[in-house]
Amino acid sequence: MTINEKQMYPSIQAKIWGSLGQITDLLDVVLDSFIKTSATGGLGSIKAEVMADTAVALASGNVKLVSNKVIGRMCKIIDKTCLSPTPTLEQHLMWDDIAILARYMLMLSFNNSLDVAAHLPYLFHVVTLLVATGPLSLRASTHGLVINIIHSLCTCSQLSFSEETKQVLRLSLTEFSLPKFYLLFGISKVKSAAVIAFRSSYRDRSFSPGSYERETFALSSLETVTEALLEIMEVRQIIV
């Protein structure tokens, strides 16, 4: 019904998934169902995008628990790839699940539904592993995730920062939006990363495996991205 009933979509999200998100014992089962449904459609499909959006409704009932489970699943899946390593993550059998969860994380990154204060090291760890990886829309999604994480730190009413930290966060937000970082994230040829990330829905060509142009990504580029993320972590003085 969530996927097929367009007219009832807002009510289903608010009345059903928002309520189910408050039932702790069901969350693992529900998330399993979401991910399996997304996988049957594939990255960029209607099923995958609707389920990612529905995860936000689920989180509205329990942000801390849902965000913890989604981020935890992503970290566990990425860890498992080392058991059967491949030259790139895209070639791994678990790539579809990784890419789908990356979209979930992007959707949850709005309105701080990722609980960034509690998960910042894990979120940045995932970013360093996914930066400039996958089709164009997913690369734009990874960039958008970073922008939203920093924005959440800047605007979250539950957090208090020193003036120095606020200044660094604002500068970082501006810096990650510059052409230099578009290049580092493998999206140098797009005008707007946000447009590309959300143009994705419903089997956009930029999601098709093997049909996208990979931009060269040097180890020095990863170093630059990592240093920028570390700077945010080092200067933050969060009081919850």
Rounded distance between C-alpha atoms, residue 234 and residue 212, angstroms: 36
Distance CA 145, CA 147 (A): 5
Tokens linked to 7: 């007219």
Task: Give Cβ neighbours of residue 55 (< 8 Å, ≥ 6 apart).
Answer: 31, 34, 66, 70, 104, 107, 108
Positive or negative, the Cα torsion across 137, 177, 149, 2? negative
SS3 call for 160: strand
Residue type, 116: V
pLDDT in tens, 45-66: 999 999 999 999 999 888 999 9
Cβ–Cβ < 8 Å for 161, 203? no
CA atoms within 13 A on the CB side of 200: 31
Q: How confident is the model at residue 210 (pLDDT cuts 50, 70, 90)?
A: very low
pLDDT band at 131 (very low <50, low <70, confident <90, very high): very high
Q: What would the pLDDT profile of 137-175 be if each residue is shown by its tens digit?
A: 899 999 999 999 999 998 877 777 778 888 889 999 999
- Mean pLDDT (the chain) is 86
Q: Give the Cα separation of 227 and 225 in Å (integer).
A: 6
List the alpha helices (DSSP H) in the chain. Answer: 9-11, 18-20, 27-41, 46-59, 63-80, 95-108, 116-130, 136-155, 163-175, 179-184, 193-198, 219-235
